[in-house]
């Protein structure tokens, strides 16, 4: 899902989620994805919470 240039769409570039992951990681965050049967997904984004960034 986060691999750049991989897509199942005819007009897709395959960069969307790779860009999202890069932005999140630049802000010391993490992103996870898992399949939910039959046709879904759960995407979780985590950021550290401290007084400095509150």
pLDDT in tens, 2-54: 888 888 888 989 899 999 999 999 999 999 999 999 999 999 999 988 887 66
Residue bearing tokens 């769409």: 9
State residue 14's pLDDT score: 87
State residue 4's pLDDT score: 87
Q: Where are the domains of the chain?
A: 16-53
The Cα–Cα gap between 33 and 45 comes to: 9
State residue 40's pLDDT score: 94
State residue 2's pLDDT score: 86
**Cα–Cα–Cα angle for 46, 52, 28, nearest 5°?**
30
Structure tokens at 29: 């965050």
**Cα–Cα–Cα angle for 32, 2, 6, nearest 5°?**
150
State residue 51's pLDDT score: 83
């Amino acid at each position: 899902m986060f691999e750049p240039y991989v897509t199942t769409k005819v007009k897709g570039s395959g960069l969307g989620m790779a860009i999202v992951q890069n932005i999140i990681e630049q802000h010391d965050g993490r992103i996870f994805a898992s399949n939910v049967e039959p046709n879904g997904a759960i995407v979780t984004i985590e950021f550290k919470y401290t007084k400095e960034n509150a």
